[in-house]
Amino acid sequence: MNEIQFIDSVAELQDLCQKMKSEPWLAIDTEFLREKTYYPKFCLLQIATLEWVACVDPIALEGHLDELFSIINDPAIIKVLHSCRQDVEIFYQLSGKLPAPVYDTQIVAPLLGFQENTGYAMLVSGFLNINLSKIHTRTDWSQRPLSAEQVQYAADDVIYLAQIYQMMQQKLQALGRQDWLKEDFEQLMNEELYDIPPENAWLKIRGKNKLTGKQLAIVQVLAEWREQVAKKDNRPKNWILRDELILDMAKLQPDNLQSLSEIRGMNDGFVRRSGKQICQLIVKAKDLPGLKLKSKGSNKKTQQQEAVLDILTGVVRLRADENSLNPVILATRKELEQLILDDQDSPLLHGWRYSMVGQELQELLLGKVSVSIDKQSLSLQAIE
């Protein structure tokens, strides 16, 4: 096993950067904390290839990471991560850039027979027959010094990731699927995934689907205010104002401190600090046009629609069996409903699912393909 380099001096970092520049790909992971902050606190960076592994201490090297980030953001180097969004968020927050191109092993896993959203430990077990320890799952990575055991635990996340990446690439190539994930990876480089515009923060609040259009306008205004305050003060959003209180205020629409303070669960300190501004925002929002949520279609379907869904489900089962996949990973019934509604958010219209079955289902719905059935099999033929 390669010795783990622990990088906590500028000279060591410069040497590491020179080594990184010549690599075609890097396995990367981060350790961070965000329980008490809006932005994640960057505590450790793990980097590996098949030949070497290093752990970089960004706390000790604060103010000296520009060259490191320039390499991480180099478009000539593939960054291999697992469930990469939080890692990418840190890089975007600190460097202002997205580290394209990325290769997310969690996105690759379903194409190779694993379940959706497969965890890293399951991948390590499945590919390498190694069971990872969970002893340091709750470690406070901001504390120093880190023990040798903690460093090894962190380094394992990239040591095995580098090996899994090579194995995945070989399997994808053997299956002829090496290019199927290009769009999926490109979608991870959407800035709005990592820096939500405050005016769109309301879309993340659960339970809003039961509100009226006017109430949704209030939710939008309050969620935007909360997002701005959370960023400014670097505090978790729910420390400032919980989602359920935003929903309650949208329903009750308090316009004075007394009525605001009577809402169940409302903190007296919050009312004193921000109550007047909140009431003003609610009054203002009541005059705004009502908002509409994207329609998900009627839950009640005709027998004809159910029959169409059954046929699409049969095609999905056929293609899943041909590719040794669980049909649910390829497409759920709800996703097939989205496809019938021509919902562009349907995963069947993007990435590897489109290549495997989505395009074919689209053509079937447009009458460009027909279904043929005998007693033992189902097949599709293009209509001349």
Residue whose structure tokens are 């709750």: 138
AA letter at 67 = E
Tell me how far apart the alpha carbons of residues 25 and 28 are, in angstroms, rounded to a whole number: 10
**pLDDT tens-digit readout, 177-227:** 888 899 899 999 999 899 889 999 999 999 999 999 999 999 999 999 999
Band of residue 295 on the pLDDT scale cut at 50, 70, 90: low
Question: For the chain, which residues make up each domain, given as ranges?
Answer: 4-193, 198-286, 303-382
List 78's β-bridge partners, or say none.
25
Q: Does domain 198-286 have CATH number 1.10.150.80?
A: yes
Share of the chain above pLDDT 70, in %: 98
Average pLDDT of span 352-367: 91
AA letter at 196 = I
CB contact at 8 A, 263 and 257 = no
- With a CB cutoff of 8 Å and minimum separation 6, the contacts of 133 are 153
Q: Please determine whether the domains at 198-286 and 303-382 fall in the same fold group of CATH.
A: yes
Residue 341 pLDDT: 84
Short-list 292, 288, 220, 228, CA closest to 249: 220
**pLDDT tens-digit readout, 68-83:** 999 999 999 999 999 9
Burial 267-286 (b: 16+ CB within 10 A, else e): eeeebeebbeebbebbeebe
Among 1-5, 27-31, 214-218, 278-282, which stretch is predicted with the lowest mean pLDDT? 1-5
- Domain 303-382: assigned CATH number: 1.10.150
Residue whose structure tokens are 């380099």: 5
Band of residue 299 on the pLDDT scale cut at 50, 70, 90: low
Burial 31-50 (b: 16+ CB within 10 A, else e): bbeeeeebebbbbbbbbbbe
CB contact at 8 A, 247 and 205 = yes
Taking CB atoms within 8 Å and a gap of at least 24, the contacts of 304-313 are 305/340, 308/340, 308/365, 309/333, 309/336, 309/337, 309/340, 311/364, 311/371, 312/336, 312/339, 312/340, 312/361, 312/364, 312/365
**pLDDT tens-digit readout, 95-113:** 999 999 999 999 999 889 8
342 or 316, which is more confident?
A: 316
Predicted TM-score of the model (pTM): 0.87
AA letter at 130 = I
Tell me how far apart the alpha carbons of residues 94 and 158 are, in angstroms, rounded to a whole number: 21
CB contact at 8 A, 102 and 81 = yes
Residue 235 pLDDT: 96
Residue 296 pLDDT: 58
Class of domain 4-193: alpha beta
